[in-house]
A and B are shown apart, each in its own frame.
Chain A
Amino acid sequence: MQMTAKYCSNCDHILHADKYHCPICYTDELELMELSGYGEVYSYTKIHAAPKSLAHLAPYFIILVDLAEGLRVTARYQGEDLEIGKRVQLKEVDGRAYVFGDV
């Protein structure tokens, strides 16, 4: 599964894929960077009270993942068992949302 980030070569700064520009040097010319899609769970929660658009998934896990490349992303986790430090892998991109699962 493909996952990308943006990269500012002026600042040697990795940015989330949905950024419009570099907030440090203001350049709009960001490079596209391929990510491995592997990471480690920094923390998580299980959401029972979901927004209407995701009510069909509830309860679902939200994780904050430290990616191998150093970027931290908020994502959903499809799986049953979760703990801090667990290794996870990107499984799909649902609309704009990243969905991770077990390695």
Chain B
Amino acid sequence: MSSVSVIGRGITSFGKKEASIKSMLIQACKAALLEAGRPRIDAVFVGNFGSGTLANQEILGSMLTNELGLGNAPSMKVEGACASGGLAFRQGYQLVKAGEYDTVLVAGAEKMTGSDTATITNAINLAMDNDSSEGASGLTFPGFFGVLANRYMHEYGAEKKHLAMVALKNRTYAMNNPIAQFRKEISMEEIMHARPVTEPLGLFDCSPITDGAAAVVIQKGEGGVEVLASGQASGTPLMQEAKDLLHIPATYESGKRAYEAAGLGPTDIDVVELHDCFSMTEIIAIEELGLFEKGKGWEAVEAGKTKHGGMVPVNTSGGLLSKGHPIGATGIAQIIQIVDQLRGNAVNQVDNARIGLAQNLGGTGAYSIVHLFRKRGA
């Protein structure tokens, strides 16, 4: 079995930015390529959700390859809603593992703040099945997780304060992250009494609108943080078709596939970046990934098990909630935080981190992808 490693990483700051999608992509990729020692690139994959609608631009793959002087290297854009970045990484990883390429560049980007709110809302709703009565009902993205949260609380006894604890933890981590969108301290009080978005979720329970780009260089061999496995799964994009609303099967399956491929299990994981598009989503994900028992994720949060000093620190970057969520960049940014953790130079470094997990979700459970990583030489 040949090893595959991440040998370079680059990322822009996240937030409301003047920069265009092209310039952000160039900045992130250049940093990753320079760090990797400017290897010859055999292919380029760009994760992006809505550049056509939000940035008035397609052909990101070709544009980037040209701007970076990568000659005629094959390139493409990969779309899977909020999982676009993770899916792009998987394409690159699999082709290197299969021996098709030696070295690939994987980037992700989204330019969101250049559009008005109505355009952004409409663009995000493209990640739902709109040819359905559900789409017509007025259910929104955050709405799905509001419905889920009310049932979860009803079923398992969790309260709104447990959602707030997730938001507070991630904000506390983001305060140390120089690229994070939100670094200002907030209190439980402010989170609990924030403007409602989709009850019981309030403003701080929801990830923001963000500009940003991130990139990594993947290469065969053992020259960096090793990619151990990639697991991907699909699930229904319709709430009314979920067999059990309190489960996100795509998250569970993608985790299971990655664990099996790596010969590892949840107890082997030292640090996690997962898809906290909403505070509720983080609680479901820690359960689906097997880190905590079904229905007990909220107790783990309350007991501090998902932060430093607990069982497994989750979203040490600040997560989507506070680091920000430039849709196509998110999956790559998560991987960068895990790579940093396994190199030992991350913000909110976890002592002796050896194995890391990154989980990227698309839609309300339409796509999920899990990657497992190991510290170099560990």
Chain A: residues with CB nearer than 8 A to chain B? 16-18, 42-52, 54, 57, 59-60, 62-64, 72-76, 84, 94-98
Q: What are 18 pairs between A and B in contact, CB < 8 Å?
A: A16-B133, A16-B240, A16-B241, A45-B147, A45-B150, A46-B196, A47-B139, A48-B195, A48-B196, A48-B199, A51-B125, A51-B138, A57-B138, A62-B146, A74-B137, A74-B139, A76-B137, A76-B138
Considering only residues 225-245 of chain B, those with a C-beta below 8 Å from chain A are 238-241, 245
- Contact between A49 and B137 (Cβ–Cβ < 8 Å)? no
Given known pairs A16-B132, A18-B131, A45-B146, the reply for A50 and B138 (CB within 8 Å) is yes
**Number of B residues whose C-beta is below 8 Å from A?**
35
> Could you tell me if A50 and B140 are in contact, using CB atoms closer than 8 angstroms?
yes
List A contacts of B135 (CB < 8 A): 96
Q: Considering only CB atoms, which chain B residue lies closest to A48 in the complex?
A: B196
- Whether, in the assembled complex, B121 has its beta carbon less than 8 Å from a beta carbon of chain A, the answer is yes
User: 1/0 per residue B248-264: CB within 8 Å of A?
Assistant: 00000000000000000
Residues of B within 8 A of A18 (CB): 131-133
CB closest chain-B residue, reference A98: B133
Binding site for A on B (CB under 8 A): 118, 121-122, 125, 131-140, 142-143, 146-151, 154, 195-201, 238-241, 245
Determine the main DSSP class of A at the interface with B: strand
CA distance A46 to B147 in the complex (A): 9
- Bound CA–CA A20/B196 (angstroms): 37
Contact call A51/B140, Cβ cutoff below 8 A: yes
- Cα A52 to Cα B118 with chains together (Å): 6
* Contact call A42/B137, Cβ cutoff below 8 A: no
Cβ distance B344 to chain A, nearest Cβ, rounded Å:
41
Shortest beta-carbon distance from A33 to chain B in Å: 15
